[in-house]
Structure formats: structure tokens, C-alpha cells
Amino acid sequence: TVSENSTAPPLQFCSEDSSNNSVFSRSAHCGSRQSDWSTVGAVALLFAGNFLNGLGGVACYVVGTTYMDDNVKKKNSALYFGGIYICRFLGPVVGLTLGSFCLSYYEDPWAEPGIGPGDPRWIGAWWMGYLVVGMSLLLSAIPVALFPRTLRHSSEAARHDASKTDVAVSCSLGPASLRDEWKDAVRVLRRLARNPIYVFRTLGNIAVYIALTGYYITFPKYTQHQFQQTASMASLFTGPVVIVSNMVGTLAGAVFVHRWQPRPRIIAWHNVLVTVLAVLGVSALMAVDCGTLRYPVATQHETGSSTVENDCTRGCSCSPDVHRPVCDESTGTQYFSPCFAGCTSQAGNESEFKDCRCLVNGGNNENFYRGVVKSGKCEQDCSSALTAFSVVVFVIQVYYSTTLVGSTLLVIRSLNVKDKSAALSILSAIMNMFAFIPYPLIYGALVDASCLVWEDRCGERGACWLYDLPKFRFLLHGVTAALLVVGCVFQGVVVRYSDRVTDFYEDSATSDAVSAPSAAPLLPPNETTGGNPPRRTHVL
């Protein structure tokens, strides 16, 4: 039984008379539900918070990237970009650890739920993380606000000359009108549209970011169901596998670019090769599973949809509103609730149910027998499958993260200095519109398409109680691999034009200069160097 102050629903047993069933009446329960406008307010607050988060993130990305690149030597840019990426990856590690800690506590700290974190009805204290993260953001904003307009460097004369030149130009031209600014914006867009590296790298990024980011947000749920993990453990597990691998790969890529200074074409080919390896690795993950959980699911002939009700339980007046899994340990078969196992009573130890007359023999939903079931899910040993899965994902991510620094420098060096901020702003807008907005919709649809049994919330679809694990596995990895193939094609086009990039590691004016503007257009090598590429040292 469940204590009176428990939030867990009462037990439901098999009974031909629905009035004798201890589960609450569906009509009474649904009739008591009223429209709660506080939900609208909560959604509005989350929307406003995400809007401000995106606004601040874009400004930090665009202004911060340009600010850093303008204040360091080109030959050292790889290390600085690597440091930025590693710091960005540290955030999710801390966030996932914090999330796992918060989810291990119940949503209402003062309530006794009567269920544990392994129960599918468990709702963790998701709100705790916002308090910690909010205070951390507020404290970190203080030193960022104290940064100067430009950093001091060894070539004060060069910076002073550049500043005087900018002042002279601005004085001679006078204040720009709105029409002039519009013309400048059109010219910038025209230059960017004629930059094949910028265009095709952006297209490739869209496909790759949808694939990888969508895969990562689905990773905890997939791990939880495919390998029988709790929600908190799946969240904690994501940190070492996904985030730490990103940090290791990014650090290796930054050191590689800084130490050996490969040509732009080598960097472009490296992107293609790593993406091909990622496609092969993701495809191989389709074969890694923990075995399909035995679940007596039948197909409704009228609708073709799946149901946990069979011929034996059809007369039990069982309700699918509440998921209360029980396990027949003799066959390793899991049932939706004691009622759907045909159980009529509870054993004295309260952890077992007896007189269960609807237990199925093997995969046949027509041969039934009586027996005893145990409360909770059937346990499976998924340690070996989980280890193999983790190793493959870790290796894939380490290899792919080695491309982050080099590909970022490849795009930035392909731009005119005066177009850098505008190009990064446009790139951020394009990525948000065509990658970061669609990917949760795409991968959310994949997860929903894998659901076998949905929670019924008074005629409305609620959470998914049971997933078709093989379908989930093939959909997730198949779509991810297909998107990576698309990204690989666009990255292959970037290889064709990568030799056009010049001054990849050398500052254009002097070695002491931090950022020397270069208005030279992005032209093929034979138009800028007489047909011979510029000589570089320490290249591959």
C-alpha cells in the first residue's frame, strides 16, 4: 500500500467490476482537473529566460570571438580558441553534474513521494539548478564588464597608427546616413555570398550541428531506456562520455594547429576525413544494444497501434493512466501494472503480487498462466553493452572535436577583417534559424515515433511509458548518420577552395602587430601570388 501523504497513485488490481478497483475513477479524476493559468506563466518565464540567454550568448560569441582574434597574434590564435572551446565544454560538465544531483531529489522537497528515482513517475527537483546557475552568471558578468575596448600589446605604435587612420577616415567621410549603412550592409552580404568557404562551411555546419546536437540532447533519454539507467545516472553519464571527449579532442586539435601549422587545405581535408569516420562510427552503434526488454504488447486490429491490453486483461477494467511496472522474474517479462498482469491481490511483504492469471508464456500473448510478480522493472545486465557504446561515442567525439579550432580559423581567415563581425553575426543568425531551432523538433519527433505506449491524460497524450527500443536505436543513429553525410559533402566543397586562404598564421604587417587589416579580396592563389602558393614554415 501507499502512505496517505504519498504522491504515488493507489494500486490497481484486476477486477471485472470497475467499481471495486482501487484506482481513482477516470471521470472523477478528469473532472477535477481545471485549467491552470500558472502553467502559462511558467512557460512564459522559461521562454523569456531562453530569449535572454540566446541574446547574451550571441553577443558573447560574435563580439568575444572578434575581440580575442583582434588582440592576439595569428600564430597563437589556435591556442586561444582551444581555450575558449574547452571553457565552454566545462560548463555542460558542471551543468550535467548539477542536474544529476538535483534530479536525485524529489520536485517537492517537503513531500514524501513513495517512489524512487528509478520509477518512471519520478520528477526531480529541476528548479534547483536555475538558482545556482543564475547566481553564477550574475557574478561572472562583473569582470566581463570591466574589460577595456582594446587590450595593450607590444606594438603600441601600430595600434596608434591604426587608430589615427580610422579617425581620419571617419572625419573625412562624416557621419554615415541610414542609406549609406544600408548600402554597406548590402555590400557585406554580397562579399559573403561570393565567399565559397564561408557559404559551404555554413551549410555543412547546419547539417552537422543538427546531427550532433540533436544526438547529444537525446543521449540521456536513449541511455536511460536502452541500457536500463535511472534519469539521474543517465544525465551524469552524459558528462564523461560527451563533454570530456569534446574537451580532450579540442585540446588536441588546438595543439596540433599551433605546433605544426598545417595548410588550410590540410585542415579542410581533416574535417572531411573525421566526418567520414563519424558516419562509420554512428552507423556501427546501430548494432550495440542490451537486448529487447520482454513486454507483452499487442496490436489493435482497428487502429494498428500498440496496446498493453490483451484478451486476458480485457475484462480486468485496467487503466493505462498510471504506469506501475511489475516483473515476472521466472521469464524476465515486464508488465505495465499489476492489473495488466492479472493480479488480484498483494502479498504480505508488499513487494510482490499474487494470483496473477494473465502472465504470458514467452512471446505468445495467447497462452496465459498464473504466477507471482515482483514490484518494479525487470533488471538487465547492460554493463558490457553500455561500456562498448560509451567507448565508441567517446572515440567519435574525440576525433570530431579535433576539427573545431582548425575549422573556426579557416572561416575567420577567409573573411576580410572589416567583415568579420558582420559575418559571425550572420553565421550565428543562420545557425540559430536553421540548426538550433529545428534540431529539437527533429529529434523530438524521432523519439516520439519510437514510443509504443503513451500515457493517457484524460484523452490527451502524456509522457511515453514504453519505447520500441530497436526502432529507437535505428531511427536515432540512422538519421544522425544521414545528416553527417550531408555535412561531409559540403565540407568536401570547402576543400576545393581552401587554398585561397592566405596569411593563415602570419600577421599581414609585422610580427608584433595584433591585427593588421587586409582589404585584399579572397582570390585564387594564381591571382595573388603569381601562381605559386606563399612559402610557409612548419606546415604539413
Same domain, 273 and 323: no
- Report the CATH number at residue 147: 1.20.1250.20
Backbone angles phi, psi at 153, to 5 degrees: -145, 180
pLDDT for position 2: 38
In a domain, 120, yes or no: yes
β-pairing verdict for 306-307 and 326-328: unpaired
pLDDT for position 20: 47
Cell, residue 253? 586539435
Domain boundary among 321, 347, 375: 375
In a domain, 513, yes or no: no
Cell, residue 222? 536513449
Measure Cα distances from 277 to 249, 282, 393, 473 in Å: 14, 9, 12, 19
Same domain, 227 and 340: no
Same domain, 436 and 333: no
- The domain of 451 spans 71-166+196-291+382-502
Same domain, 263 and 347: no
Backbone angles phi, psi at 216, to 5 degrees: -70, -35
Same domain, 355 and 406: no
Same domain, 306 and 440: no
Domain total of the chain:
2
pLDDT for position 99: 79
In a domain, 527, yes or no: no
Same domain, 321 and 456: no
In a domain, 18, yes or no: no
CA distance 489 to 3: 60
CA distance 512 to 73: 8
pLDDT for position 36: 54
Determine the distance from the C-alpha atom of residue 330 to the mean position of all C-alpha atoms in its chain, rounded to a whole number: 39
Same domain, 390 and 492: yes
Q: With a cut of 70, which residues of the chain have pLDDT below it?
A: 1-10, 16-38, 118-120, 149-177, 292-293, 297-306, 350, 362-366, 456-459, 506-540
In a domain, 218, yes or no: yes
Domain boundary among 375, 396, 416: 375
In a domain, 517, yes or no: no
Length of the chain: 540
Same domain, 432 and 457: yes
**Burial annotation 401-424 (CB, 10 A radius, 16+ → b, else e):** bbbbbbbbbbbbbbbbbebbbbbb
pLDDT for position 30: 58
CA distance 47 to 39: 12
Note the pTM of the prediction, 2 decimals: 0.73
β-pairing verdict for 326-328 and 345-346: unpaired
Q: Determine contact, residues 421/286, Cβ cutoff 8 Å.
A: no
- For residue 335, give the amino acid letter: Y
pLDDT for position 299: 61
pLDDT for position 206: 95
Nearest to 224 by CA among 380, 341, 93: 380
Nearest to 313 by CA among 337, 346, 347, 345: 337
pLDDT for position 300: 59
pLDDT for position 6: 43
Q: What is the pLDDT of residues 92-108, one digit of tens each?
A: 777 777 877 888 888 88
Please give the full DSSP string across 90-116, using - where no structure is assigned: HHHHHHHHHHHHHHTSBSSTTSB-SS-
pLDDT for position 405: 87
